[in-house]
Homo-oligomer: A and B are copies of this chain.
Amino acid sequence: VPHRFYAPGIGLSAPVALPDEEAEHLIRVLRLQAGDEVEAFDGAGRMYQALVERAARRTVSLRALKVIDAAPEPGVRLRLVVAALKGDKTDDVVRDAAMLGVAAIQPVVTARSEIGLATLARSHRLQRWQRIAVSSVKQCGRAVVPAVAPALSLADYLAGPDARVERLMLVEPSASHASQPVQSLPRPAAADLMVGPEGGWTDDEARSAAAAGARLVTLGGRTLRADAAPLVGLTAVLTVWGEL
């Protein structure tokens, strides 16, 4: 397996300097040198065969040699809107979502979240999640790095201007609101998949989402753990749309 680097801005016209963390990895961990061959992606969809042009302590640069194939992106632009979980459980969610091909990740804080917006902001989790997304993308061969957005309250997310995005909220079957099985979902151009915290969405939240135009979607009768539900939900919708 070739070594892969995230090199924002890389292209065939000129060499590009690596971000600090990637440079560090190339020099100190892998001990690569000028002239070594690597793969590099720009995070926006292009993967290149590349040469290490300079590998000095302060500057590491890569020269793109030619475009190569990256893992294909899903034809549906899919965003995961996910309730932040306590501890580091959201780390795995971000890693898995990046592996499955999401275009973006929007953490939200919900009625049953065990962590608040202020704590999330203080804890530098956003930076950590973005690093995890980069490293997952490297492993799975994608050339797109999903952006992880700063957390929002569910209400603020629902109030956002997403008129042309199909909003899907993963719910457990309930008497209090109508829902549809995942298999019946039409294939949209872009979708947000909303996945709740441990204990799920409140009935109020489900109703607000429906009022904001979301479809409530079920995955069958077995209860899913909150940390596994995003991976299961993303896999299910991608399978239904022929995009896995």
A99 to B231 Cα, complex, angstroms? 13
Chain B: CB-nearest residue to A220 = B244
Please determine whether B222 and A141 come into contact, CB atoms closer than 8 angstroms: yes
A202: CB under 8 A from chain B? no
A142: CB under 8 A from chain B? yes
- Which residues of the other chain, B, contact A223 by a CB distance below 8 angstroms? 71, 99, 139-141
Number of chain copies forming the complex: 2
- Which residues of the other chain, B, contact A181 by a CB distance below 8 angstroms? 242
A239 to B142 Cα, complex, angstroms? 24
Please determine whether A239 and B139 come into contact, CB atoms closer than 8 angstroms: no
Decide yes or no: A228 and B228 within 8 Å by CB, A182-B244, A221-B72 being known contacts. Answer: no
Tell me which of B71, B95, B220, B224 contacts A222 (CB under 8 A): B71
Interface bin, chain A:
20 to 34
Residue-wise interface mask of A (207-244) relative to B, using a CB-CB cutoff of 8 A (1 in contact, 0 not): 00000000000011111110010011001101110111
- Which residues of the other chain, B, contact A101 by a CB distance below 8 angstroms? 222
- Which residues of the other chain, B, contact A225 by a CB distance below 8 angstroms? 95, 99, 139-140
Decide yes or no: A142 and B222 within 8 Å by CB, A183-B239, A236-B244, A239-B183 being known contacts. Answer: yes
Residues A189-208 near B (CB distance < 8 A):
none
A100: CB under 8 A from chain B? yes
A96 to B225 Cα, complex, angstroms? 9
Which residues of A are at the interface with B, using a C-beta cutoff of 8 A?
A: 71-72, 95-96, 99-101, 139-142, 181-183, 219-225, 228, 231-232, 235-236, 238-240, 242-244
Q: Could you pull out 22 A-B pairs where Cβ atoms are within 8 angstroms? A: A71-B221, A71-B223, A99-B224, A101-B222, A139-B225, A140-B223, A140-B224, A140-B225, A141-B221, A141-B222, A142-B222, A181-B242, A182-B244, A183-B242, A220-B238, A228-B231, A231-B231, A231-B232, A235-B236, A236-B239, A236-B244, A239-B239
